[in-house]
């Protein structure tokens, strides 16, 4: 109820009287709202349990019907037990594959050198029922990729060094072509500047202004 609703019902009511009416109305309404909320939550929970029970009952009924049909078809009790055992083993195998796949994916993600689509394909390639074998295959792939990445990085660094020998004081001989002034240094390609700084952290203080 709003203030204007009270005014319509009690045209001559004072502000204090209106406040009292609204407060009284709220104190009576709030418990009802709380009770309604709790009742609704209980109803939803009960409905959820009922839905699950109906689904379980249907699955059980389907299983009974299937067994009955097979018995009528001439299957022995031993054959039925063997079939159930095989089905249980298959479910266990599917669960183990999913679990091992999660562990393998975690390794590929942690390696930080694979894209999402690559990880999905690699998981399919290495996953098996044996967890240790799955982990070993995943680690082998990661090791190869990381080793290749380091090799590429080292080759790239060597190529940069060929065109930019170290300055004196950076572990190599003095290079007459190396920049001597700040202007010469800033004129170099950005990657070359980074490499020179990596080779000689003191290079900026060694360059002259002109």
> Around Cβ 107, how many Cβ atoms within 10 Å?
20
What are the structure tokens assigned to 18, written together?
A: 């209106």
Q: Is the domain of 67 the same as that of 82? A: no
pLDDT winner (highest mean) among 101-105, 112-116, 181-185, 203-207: 101-105
Owning domain of residue 184: 166-210
Q: Do residue 118 and residue 154 come from a single domain?
A: yes
Interval 71-108: pLDDT, tens: 656 667 777 788 888 888 888 889 988 999 999 899 88
- Whether 134 shows a pLDDT value over 90: the answer reads yes
Q: Is 143 found in the same domain as 86?
A: yes
Assigned token pair, 84 = 């159930």
Residues 36, 98: one domain? no
pLDDT band at 151 (very low <50, low <70, confident <90, very high): low
Give the tens place of pLDDT for each residue, 154-202: 666 666 555 555 444 444 445 666 788 888 888 888 888 888 888 888 8
Tell me: do 157 and 171 sit in the same domain: no
Statement to judge: residues 80 and 157 lie in one domain: yes
**Tokens (6 digits) for 122:** 């690699």
Choosing from 72, 89, 120, the residue where a domain stops is 72
CA 104 – CA 99 distance, rounded (Å):
9
pLDDT number for residue 79: 78
- Does residue 140 sit in the same domain as residue 101? yes
| Residues 140 and 190 grouped into a single domain | no
The alpha-helical segments, DSSP class H, found in the chain are: 3-9, 15-72, 77-111, 116-126, 131-163, 182-187, 190-199, 203-206
| 47 and 63 together in one domain | yes
pLDDT confidence of residue 172: 44
For the chain, what is the domain count? 3
Give the rounded percent of residues in the chain with a pLDDT score beyond 90: 9
Rounded CA gap, 62 and 59, in Å? 5
Q: Answer yes or no: do 89 and 156 share one domain.
A: yes
Give Cα 83 distance to the centre of its chain: 38
Closest CA to 135 of 105, 158, 114, 162: 105
The encoded tokens of residue 135 equal: 């982990």
pLDDT at 47: 83
Chain Cα centroid distance, residue 14: 61
Mean pLDDT, residues 139-163 taken together: 71
CA separation for the pair 139, 22 (Å, rounded)? 70
Query: Do residue 82 and residue 115 come from a single domain?
Result: yes
| C-alpha to C-alpha distances, 121 to 125, 132, 138, 204, 209, nearest whole angstrom | 6, 19, 12, 47, 55
Give CA–CA dist 22/37, Å, rounded.
22
Note whether 89 and 67 are same-domain residues. no
């Amino acid at each position: 109820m709003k203030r204007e609703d009270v005014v319509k019902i009690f045209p001559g009511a004072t502000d204090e009287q209106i406040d009292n009416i609204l407060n009284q109305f709220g104190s009576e309404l709030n418990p009802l709202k709380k009770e309604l909320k709790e009742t609704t939550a209980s109803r939803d929970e009960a409905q959820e349990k009922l839905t699950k029970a109906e689904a379980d009952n249907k699955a059980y009924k389907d299983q009974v019907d299937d067994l009955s049909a097979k018995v009528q078809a001439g299957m022995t009790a031993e054959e039925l037990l063997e079939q159930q055992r095989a089905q249980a083993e298959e479910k266990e195998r599917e669960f183990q594959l999913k679990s091992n796949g999660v562990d393998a994916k975690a390794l590929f993600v942690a390696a930080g050198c694979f894209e999402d689509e690559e990880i999905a394909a690699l998981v399919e390639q290495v996953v098996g029922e044996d967890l240790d074998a799955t982990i070993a295959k995943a680690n082998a792939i990661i090791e190869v990729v990381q080793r290749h990445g380091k090799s590429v990085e080292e080759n790239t660094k060597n190529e940069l060094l060929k065109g930019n020998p170290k300055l004196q004081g950076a572990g190599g001989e003095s290079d007459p072509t190396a920049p001597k002034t700040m202007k010469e240094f800033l004129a170099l390609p950005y990657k070359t500047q980074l490499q020179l700084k990596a080779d000689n952290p003191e290079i900026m203080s060694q360059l002259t202004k002109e």
